[in-house]
């Protein structure tokens, strides 16, 4: 390609980026409108992204635009002071308004529901950036770091990749660090289009290991496409210095229930079906089951939940590929990434001690969340005290 044609393509960059990001057009489709091949457009688009050339904000489609405006230290201090968590990091995030509504409870075929879930993706993408910045400051060369599945963790690792490309010197000297996958065996992603890779814990651990140049001998994978080991090594699992996790709220719109997941989930399919039946029969049960590191637990008092739902939780925990709950609970520090309306109820019960089965020690948890969620939690706390 000549220099003139390269300049011409760069001049068209903003127009092409808008079509790609805001209209969702494929490179194949764009190649029909511009005098460049699909491969050329893909390579140049990747170059623009690596250089962080564009920051597109579409105020009508919050699923494609969410950004961190600032940290809210006062909110973080108040949230930690009024709950059982060690500390919080709260970010004011713009462009994820639909993640703060109850629209996620609707039918998966509803446009409003899809918008809410896509906005939740965008919100967790922004929270992942906040968590990545925190993680950079916490890492030291001799840590054992455990990673769970999920969007918050996956987006945090993706953010680290971006930082590593710009400042590779920050990511040297970690050859003694150990990376541990906390769970595996399922395909975890986001609601919207593919991010290019799953956010399963094995994948998250793999990419963190690559970023930090951790030797293969210092990586422990749970199960899946990257692993040849049948069982995790307990001597490493028992000594986590840092666990990076998210909060999953298991309802009928969860990724577990989408597409042909029942076929992929094997022994979990039947108890998951029982949870789905319970939730379909009673909408109040949509926010009754959560997971951290693929360890499921009841949200709130177990005596308020149907026996069949509790039995299904126990069955799933018996067959899921995940480290023991105590492994995460005993971590010296835990970063928990979660926010939005779908997580607010579960977060409130968790951080106030209402989930005794949860695999975390609240006294070592740093909650990474957003200003709307923090405000909602504090408001509900005040209502409960009235």
Domain ranges of the chain: 3-50, 62-385
- 32 C-beta neighbours (distance < 10 Å), count: 9
Mean pLDDT of 203-227: 82
Dihedral sign for Cα atoms in the order 146, 152, 158, 163: negative
Q: Under a CB-based contact definition with an 8 Å cutoff, are residues 183 and 323 in contact?
A: yes
- 312 C-beta neighbours (distance < 10 Å), count: 24
Hey, what are 238's tokens? 């028992």
Distance CA 378, CA 386 (A): 13
Distance CA 45, CA 66 (A): 20
Burial class (CB in 10 A: 0-12, 13-18, 19+), 200: buried
Distance CA 108, CA 253 (A): 6
Hey, what are 47's tokens? 């170059």
**Mean pLDDT estimate for the chain:** 82
Q: Under a CB-based contact definition with an 8 Å cutoff, are residues 323 and 182 in contact?
A: yes
For 272, the 3-state DSSP assignment is helix
- Looking up tokens 């809210």 gives 72
Q: Can you name the residues that pair with 114 across neighbouring β-strands?
A: none
Q: Can you name the residues that pair with 333 across neighbouring β-strands?
A: 242
Evaluate if residue 179 carries a pLDDT over 90: yes
Please indicate whether residue 329 or residue 108 has the higher confidence score (pLDDT).
329
pLDDT at residue 192 in the model: 57
Mean pLDDT of 323-331: 92
Kindly report the pTM of this predicted structure. 0.78
% of the chain exceeding 90 in pLDDT: 40
Dihedral sign for Cα atoms in the order 47, 48, 53, 56: negative
* C-alpha separations of 327 from 242, 243, 293 in Å: 11, 9, 10
- Looking up tokens 């998951």 gives 272
Please indicate whether residue 336 or residue 226 has the higher confidence score (pLDDT).
336
Distance CA 5, CA 2 (A): 5
| Tens digits of residue pLDDT in 150-161 | 889 999 999 998
| Tens digits of residue pLDDT in 78-124 | 999 999 999 999 999 998 898 898 888 777 667 887 788 888 889 99
- What CATH code would you report for 62-385? 3.40.50.1360
């Amino acid at each position: 390609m000549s220099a003139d044609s390269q300049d011409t393509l760069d001049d068209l960059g903003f127009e092409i980026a808008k079509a790609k990001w805001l209209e969702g057009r494929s490179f194949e489709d764009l190649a029909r409108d511009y005098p460049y091949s699909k491969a050329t457009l893909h390579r140049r688009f990747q170059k623009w992204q690596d250089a962080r050339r564009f920051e597109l904000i579409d105020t009508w489609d919050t699923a494609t635009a969410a950004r961190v405006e600032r940290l809210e230290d006062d909110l973080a201090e108040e949230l930690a002071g009024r709950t059982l968590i060690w500390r919080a990091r709260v970010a004011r995030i713009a462009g994820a308004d639909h993640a703060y509504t109850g629209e996620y409870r609707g039918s998966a075929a509803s446009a409003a529901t899809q918008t809410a879930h896509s906005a939740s993706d965008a919100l967790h993408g922004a929270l992942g950036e906040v968590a990545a910045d925190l993680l950079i400051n916490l890492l030291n060369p001799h840590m054992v770091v455990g990673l769970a599945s999920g969007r918050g963790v996956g987006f945090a690792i993706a953010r680290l990749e971006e930082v590593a490309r710009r400042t590779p010197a920050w990511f040297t000297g970690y050859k003694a660090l150990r990376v541990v996958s906390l769970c595996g065996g399922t395909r975890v992603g986001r609601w919207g289009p593919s991010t290019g890779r799953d956010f399963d814990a094995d994948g998250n651990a793999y990419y963190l290991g690559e970023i930090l140049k951790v030797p293969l001998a210092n990586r422990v994978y749970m199960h899946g496409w990257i692993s040849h080991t049948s069982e995790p090594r307990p001597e490493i699992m028992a000594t986590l210095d840092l666990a990076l996790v998210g909060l999953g709220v298991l309802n009928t719109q969860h990724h577990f229930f989408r597409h042909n997941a029942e076929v992929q989930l094997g022994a979990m399919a039947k108890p998951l079906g029982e949870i789905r039946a319970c939730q379909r029969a009673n909408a109040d049960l949509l926010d009754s089951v959560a997971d951290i590191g693929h360890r499921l637990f009841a949200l709130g008092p177990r005596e308020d939940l149907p026996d069949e739902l509790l039995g299904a939780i126990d069955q799933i925990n018996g067959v899921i590929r995940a480290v023991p709950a105590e492994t995460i609970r005993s971590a010296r520090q835990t970063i928990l990434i979660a926010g939005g309306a779908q997580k607010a109820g579960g977060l409130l019960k968790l951080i106030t001690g209402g989930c005794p089965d949860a695999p975390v020690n609240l006294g070592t948890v740093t909650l990474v969340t957003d200003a709307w969620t923090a405000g909602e939690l504090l408001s509900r706390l005040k209502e409960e005290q009235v």
